[in-house]
Amino acid sequence: MFVPENRVVLKGSDRSPVHQSKVAGRSDPAEIIEVTLRLRHHPKADNKSLNVATRLSREEYETRFGSSDEDIQAVENFAHTHELTVVLSEPGRHTVILKGTVAQFSAAFGVELRQYEHPEGQYRGRTGPVYIPSALEGIVTGVFGLDNRPQAQPHFRHRPIASERALGAVSGTFTPIQVADAYSFPNADGTGQCIAIVELGGGYSTSDLTRYFQSLNLTKNPKVTAVSVGGAHNSPTGDPNGPDGEVMLDIEVAGSIAPGAAIAVYFAQNTDAGFLNAITQAVHDKTRKPSVVSISWGGPESTWTQQALDSYNQALQTASTLGVTVCIASGDNGATDGVTDGQNHVDFPASSPYALGCGGTRLVLSGTQITETVWNDGANGGATGGGFSAYFPIPDYQTGLIGNGTNRGVPDVAGDADPNTGYDVIVDGQSTVIGGTSAVAPLMSALIARINQSLTTPVGFINPLLYENPQDSRDIVSGNNNGFSAATGWDPCTGMGAPIGTELQSLLTTAVKKKIAA
């Protein structure tokens, strides 16, 4: 591919084809696509002040750290030079979205876009780096959407049972409310809060949700709203084994535990651009103002570009600055995260130091007696993800508390995820049981919403307090994830353990009051 003069390589933008894919031909040069550009913070901002203790409103953040007018104008000038249309420009999100043809974007960024065949379908892709004008070096930190390969997988698992069995009729499984009660969640319903849920495919049926929530005899039905990101919509497939299972699980777990909260479901395309845009749109949403975000999608760190790892991590750091807690599933494929190179891997974005990584357990109740072990269904089944990041260094809050690890350890917390002790739900009209770490992200999100309800300001980034106060979690000391074993204290299977809801509420309430008083 001819690379124009006065261009530089965009750091961290190298891509390789998906494993087992082959070139099928060149992409249609007339195809219209949208591409997301990630911009730096305001060049005059003191980025060192963006630490976990910082708390700003969305408006304050945009004023102090949002992309500068000059940087945005430089990007828009670049777009106009290449006859690209500016679809969106939001300084607080550090985002400019451009629209144009494949041919225009190929020339603008010095890439050759091709169609690739893969056993799971066809995608538009590129190899090598992205090139940007030298005038944009340091301004543009990421370019997403040239490649539209599926970036993430949902982290849910069905229990192999007859779908016609009634809710609550399967021995050893639970409604979300029963799990919340087992974990001593505080007596609240999330009133006044908004839980954002990120989805990268599938959809929900309002009639299914109504039927489900009525079956639980809730005092109120949660208000669920679909939010379109980049033209994606609530699109149920009718297949309970497909992404609808993820969408319905997330909504039904979060909604039944926090029925007083507004549930905003952000639907985006399953690409690196779509996923990033969904996160930033939810975090910066000035209308709905989510106080917690639930994400049950991800993929091995090795499948992400460096620019994606950095950009997503910065977006999650921004969430912590805005007082938004982001709960992310740690994966369902054990210590390898499904990678077949013989090495251990962790799932991203759960491995971001600014995520509350959510691992999985097997929960067994006998009256009020709890028996909880690491979720691991054996070599042919699922197991909780967990381990050590290959990219992110150990954050301060884990230093000295995760053994000899020198990098970020995953997960931070854990909850019931074994599909054999999973959640009774309804998907596409069918009663079924689903588990996976996907269930733990909305479970923890609903807990945070219940806690936030009684506070004047959301608890925000809770990881440091979790590690400083191990007594607020029930330690899981038995089991393994085919690479690491549970142990006293933090371990790379279940983190600090399962939450003790009322204890965590007391801890976070005290911390918030101290911050306000200061």
Catalytic residue (one of 246, 285, 332, 372):
246
Residues listed for the chain: 518
Residue showing tokens 């530089």? 8
Catalytic residue (one of 438, 472, 475, 491):
438
H or E, element range at 35: strand 32-39
Catalytic residue (one of 62, 189, 208, 250):
250
What does each C-alpha distance from 99 to 52, 274, 492 come to in angstroms?
A: 35, 14, 42
**Phi, psi angles (nearest 5°) of residue 137:** -65, 130
- Specify the 3-state DSSP secondary structure of 178: helix
Tokens of 60: 């304050």
Its sign, for the CA torsion 353, 347, 362, 406, is: negative
Q: How far apart are CA 245 and CA 332, in angstroms?
A: 15
Let me know if 250 is a catalytic residue: yes
Q: How far apart are CA 118 and CA 233, in angstroms?
A: 25
Task: Return all residues near 137 (Cβ < 8 A) that are at least 6 apart.
Answer: 8
How many other C-beta atoms can be found within 10 angstroms of the C-beta atom of residue 392?
21
What does each C-alpha distance from 101 to 82, 105, 147, 264 come to in angstroms?
A: 10, 6, 13, 32
Task: Report the alpha-carbon angle 456-291-206, nearest 5.
Answer: 125
DSSP 424: E
- Would you say 475 and 489 are in contact if contact means Cβ atoms under 8 Å apart? yes
447-472 as b/e: b if 16+ CB within 10 A:
bbbbbbbebeebbbbbbebbbebeeb
- Would you say 58 and 322 are in contact if contact means Cβ atoms under 8 Å apart? yes
- Would you say 484 and 337 are in contact if contact means Cβ atoms under 8 Å apart? no
Let me know if 5 is a catalytic residue: no
Q: How far apart are CA 490 and CA 357, in angstroms?
A: 13
Let me know if 438 is a catalytic residue: yes
Q: How far apart are CA 103 and CA 196, in angstroms?
A: 36
Amino acid at 57: S
- Specify the 3-state DSSP secondary structure of 317: helix
Amino acid at 121: G
Task: Report the alpha-carbon angle 68-69-75, nearest 5.
Answer: 95
Greatest alpha-carbon span in the chain: 72
Tokens of 484: 């690491």
- Would you say 376 and 482 are in contact if contact means Cβ atoms under 8 Å apart? yes
Q: How far apart are CA 251 and CA 266, in angstroms?
A: 12
Positions annotated as catalytic residues are 246, 250, 438
